[in-house]
Structure 1
């Protein structure tokens, strides 16, 4: 485990693997968002931009703009009382944000690696009436999706930070299961 002041070496191919994992975790939740907000394409665009990066494209302003747009989509869904859709959009935001994982040995960076999985799991939980077994099943599926490169990158960082409500709990569950 790294200490909080260290820098971590990350290759471009490792960043692409982390982004690909984040996309794989976020994409299933997109259906929840689009069911509630079929005309809002912002989360899909963020996921598509993250997938393009994972597939070899450069990190561009479009990727960052897609993340910000997904965040606004999450806020709009939240404001409309659509909690599951909001977390699904946050999963898309986190997928785009994974491409910007920083090489700083800080626990907060773990959210860039595992945030899409946790937000997607929370979206499915909320869609099922806040059933925690649904979230646990999603976390188990995300664990299967985590390629060895993603696990190796995760292990360079300190454990996930405390706090963050239910999404924070899901991040910590996945983090502990992958280490």
Structure 2
């Protein structure tokens, strides 16, 4: 049986607000590739509304699924940077559904939007500038977000480059440089 973690609604809102702040800058990459497609922006807006006090409703989940479809469509069209930007939006909306289960995979709900946004910036610029976005994401993490993160196991292995970025951010938040 998996252990449970105490997680208040206020903490869930903080984590979601953090995920939104990390994902939102990557919207420009998606919207440049698909200016007519508002699904990732809608997912981020729904997550932001929850973070700011709205109820956690089915509309957040629906907008996350729509961002998932935008991710798949851009991936299939060979628009890798836009695809990762859509995944960042999906991850931001998914943060509202962080489960209080002591599983490493739940860390993706906390830090996934930052990792996918960082990868979107890397793909968009053609270099490994995702590290710059991770520094920004590290600075955006307030003490509540870090406290919640610390209740979970370390980020899971795998997931390619996005996984590397996720684990780098996870480690930097758990063990900040002094």
Please give the TM-score of this superposition, normalised by the length of structure 2: 0.97
- Mind listing any 5+ residue stretches in structure 2 that lack a counterpart? none
User: How many residue pairs align between the two structures?
Assistant: 174
Match for residue 62 of structure 2 among 65, 71, 74: 65
Deviations 1:82-124 (A, max 9, x none): 0000000000000000000000000000000000000000000
Does residue 39 of the first structure (1) align with residue 36 of the second (2)? yes
1:51-130 correspondence runs (5 A): 51-129=48-126
1:170 aligned to 2:142?
no
Instruction: Please report the TM-score for the alignment, with normalisation by the length of structure 1.
Output: 0.96
- 2:152 aligned with 1:157: yes
4+ residue segments displaced more than 6 Å = none
Structure possessing the higher relative contact order (Cα contacts under 8 Å, 6 or more residues apart): 1
CA distance in 1 between partners of 2:90 and 2:108 (Å): 11
Q: Does 1:17 align with 2:14?
A: yes
Match of 2:2 in 1: 5
Aligned to 2:2, the other structure's residue is in SS state coil
Distance 2:125 2:50 in 1: 32
Q: Give the root-mean-square deviation of aligned CA atoms.
A: 0.7
